[in-house]
């Protein structure tokens, strides 16, 4: 709340509530929420749970988030939650009971876990249509439009959305499909998150390696290199969210200018466009694509196309040193270093593929293909890789659906 009051005084605007809503409580969302809760003066937070089953998991974890470091769980509580109705975009508010005794809360949570009580507790809750000032969105890129659509009626032109995810192109997609009216469009921030995390169970995440969180307001494509670097132009909610996150030590967050962060994003995109699809197609760990001449040739072909597209993008024109930074050989060196550093890891795309989830390939290699088409550059290697990943996902789905043949003839007669 201190940060919210300071921003209001500096900008001469009405006081902000200071509440931060988090949409997508997976690895990154859990870590961000836990980090904010560990501040000396935590901001009020609301976790947006998209389904009653997620709420059931939340109850089973006693309404807490645990981050495991060196084998020990650090547990944080005190989060409010909104739970979305399964048949509409109605959000129900379930505030944290700050005054409840621990033993009474445990009994209440146990009661809620009984069959039917989850739905009953939601039906007895208040509908929450309150305005969302600051939303931190950490869902997968391919889920962004659907997720943000569910809260779009609660966002205003004064709100700020932070997109903390892999891939690029989600802002353009949100503008086209969710916020077509630019006069009522919320402000955007983008972030690059590099902490090492993996999930033990819902709301219980292991922190395997300290990274950073790079943040910046996001101007339109056309003005990245020339405008938006002056914080006087930022909305109060953007200033508040940026200040709050950068003053939260576990996030190791720092602010960059829009022209700088777009270069960080493009570098990460290039790395993801090589390591993720190759490890997914070959079903191998990151380090296994090293010291293999066949992989090296494919990496070079991918990065030649990626470099050509990036250097032709209108939003990076005029940035000093851009040609050297995105030279194909430098990108290949970076990819090799990253694969070596994470040699024992399984890429997020391979994890999604093996768990039957849709991948983010359309926002990684697919983004390069789409931007290349806009610029008249044919990216046939990236297109082929994208299609092969999608074909493999479809093949795995076909195998899974055909794994247990069932004869349902006469089923209705037995009822």
Beta bridge partners of 196: 209
Per-residue pLDDT, 124: 79
In angstroms, the Cα distances linking 233 to 17, 63, 175, 186 are: 21, 38, 20, 14
pTM, to two decimals:
0.88
C-alpha to C-alpha distance for 149 and 319, rounded to whole angstroms: 34
pLDDT tens readout for residues 39-95: 999 999 999 999 888 998 999 999 999 999 999 999 999 999 999 987 777 899 988
Q: Compute φ and ψ for 223, nearest 5 degrees.
A: -115, 15
Q: Please report which helix (H) or strand (E) contains residue 240, including its range.
A: helix 236-246
Q: Compute φ and ψ for 36, nearest 5 degrees.
A: -65, -40
For 191-219, the DSSP string reads EEE--EEEEEETTEEEEEE---EEEEE--
In angstroms, the Cα distances linking 386 to 198, 278, 303, 367 are: 25, 10, 14, 10
C-alpha to C-alpha distance for 70 and 56, rounded to whole angstroms: 28
pLDDT tens readout for residues 280-291: 999 999 999 998
What are 63's two structure tokens? Answer: 């309404």
Per-residue pLDDT, 336: 95
Contact of 263 with 316, CB cutoff 8 Å: yes
The packing angle between helices 328-341 and 293-312, to 10°, is: 130
Strand order in the sheet with 72-76: 72-76, 65-69, 204-209, 196-201
Domain with CATH 1.10.1040.10 in the chain: 261-398
Per-residue pLDDT, 101: 73
In order along its 415 residues, the chain shows pLDDT tens digits of 557 666 656 655 668 999 999 999 999 999 999 999 999 999 999 999 998 889 989 999 999 999 999 999 999 999 999 999 877 778 999 888 777 777 677 777 777 777 667 777 777 789 999 999 999 999 999 999 999 999 999 999 999 999 999 999 999 999 999 999 999 999 999 999 999 888 899 999 999 889 999 999 987 554 455 445 566 678 999 999 999 999 999 999 999 999 899 999 999 999 999 999 999 999 999 999 998 889 899 999 999 999 999 999 999 999 999 999 999 999 999 999 999 988 888 898 998 998 888 999 999 999 999 999 999 999 999 999 999 999 999 998 888 877 655 554 444 443 3
Going by C-beta distance under 8 Å and a sequence separation of 6 or more, which residues neighbour residue 36?
Answer: 20, 42, 43, 45, 244, 245, 248
pLDDT tens readout for residues 158-184: 999 999 999 999 999 999 999 999 999
Where b means 16+ CB within 10 Å and e means fewer, 161-194 reads: bbbbbbbbbbbebbeeebbeeeeebbbbbbbbbe
Going by C-beta distance under 8 Å and a sequence separation of 6 or more, which residues neighbour residue 235?
Answer: 158, 160, 187
The alpha helices in 79-142, defined as continuous H runs, are 102-112, 117-123
Superfamily (CATH) of domain 1-255? NAD(P)-binding Rossmann-like Domain (3.40.50.720)
The alpha helices in 247-346, defined as continuous H runs, are 258-282, 293-312, 322-325, 328-341
CATH 1.10.1040.10 matches 261-398: yes
C-alpha to C-alpha distance for 308 and 316, rounded to whole angstroms: 12
Domain with CATH 3.40.50.720 in the chain: 1-255
């Amino acid at each position: 709340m201190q940060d919210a009051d300071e921003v209001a005084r500096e900008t001469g605007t009405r006081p902000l509530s200071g509440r931060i809503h988090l949409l997508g409580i997976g690895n990154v969302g859990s870590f961000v929420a836990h980090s904010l809760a560990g501040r000396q003066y935590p901001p009020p937070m609301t976790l947006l749970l998209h389904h009653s089953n997620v709420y059931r998991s939340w109850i089973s974890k006693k309404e807490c988030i645990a981050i495991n470091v060196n084998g020990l769980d650090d547990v944080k509580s005190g989060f409010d939650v909104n739970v979305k109705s399964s048949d509409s975009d109605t959000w129900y508010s379930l505030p944290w009971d700050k005054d409840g005794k621990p033993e009474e809360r445990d009994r209440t949570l146990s009661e809620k876990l009984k069959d039917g009580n989850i739905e009953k507790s939601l039906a007895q809750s208040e509908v929450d249509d309150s305005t969302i000032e600051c939303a931190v969105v950490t869902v997968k890129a391919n889920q962004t439009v659907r997720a943000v659509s569910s809260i779009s009626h609660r966002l205003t032109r004064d709100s700020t959305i932070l997109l903390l995810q892999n891939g690029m192109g989600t802002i353009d997609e949100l503008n086209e499909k969710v916020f077509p009216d630019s006069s009522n469009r919320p402000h955007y921030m983008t972030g690059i998150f590099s902490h090492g995390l993996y999930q033990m169970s819902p709301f219980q995440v292991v922190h395997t390696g300290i990274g950073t969180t790079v943040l910046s307001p996001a101007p339109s494509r056309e003005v990245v290199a020339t405008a938006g670097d002056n914080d006087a132009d930022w909305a109060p909610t953007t200033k508040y969210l940026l200040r709050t996150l950068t003053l939260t030590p576990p996030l190791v967050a720092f602010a960059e200018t829009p022209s700088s962060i777009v270069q960080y994003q493009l570098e990460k995109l290039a790395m993801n466009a090589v390591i993720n699809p190759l490890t997914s197609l070959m079903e191998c760990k990151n380090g296994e694509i090293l010291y293999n001449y066949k992989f090296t040739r494919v990496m070079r072909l991918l990065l030649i196309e990626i470099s050509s597209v990036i250097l032709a993008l209108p939003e990076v024109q005029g940035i000093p040193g851009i040609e050297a930074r995105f030279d194909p050989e430098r990108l290949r060196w970076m990819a090799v270093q990253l694969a070596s550093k994470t040699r024992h890891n399984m890429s997020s795309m391979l994890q999604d593929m093996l768990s039957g989830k849709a991948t983010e390939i359309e926002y990684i290699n697919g983004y390069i293909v789409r931007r290349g088409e806009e610029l008249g550059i044919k990216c046939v290697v990236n297109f082929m890789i994208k299609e092969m990943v999608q074909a493999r996902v479809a093949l795995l789905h076909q195998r899974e659906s055909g794994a247990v043949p069932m004869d349902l003839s006469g089923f209705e007669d037995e009822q």
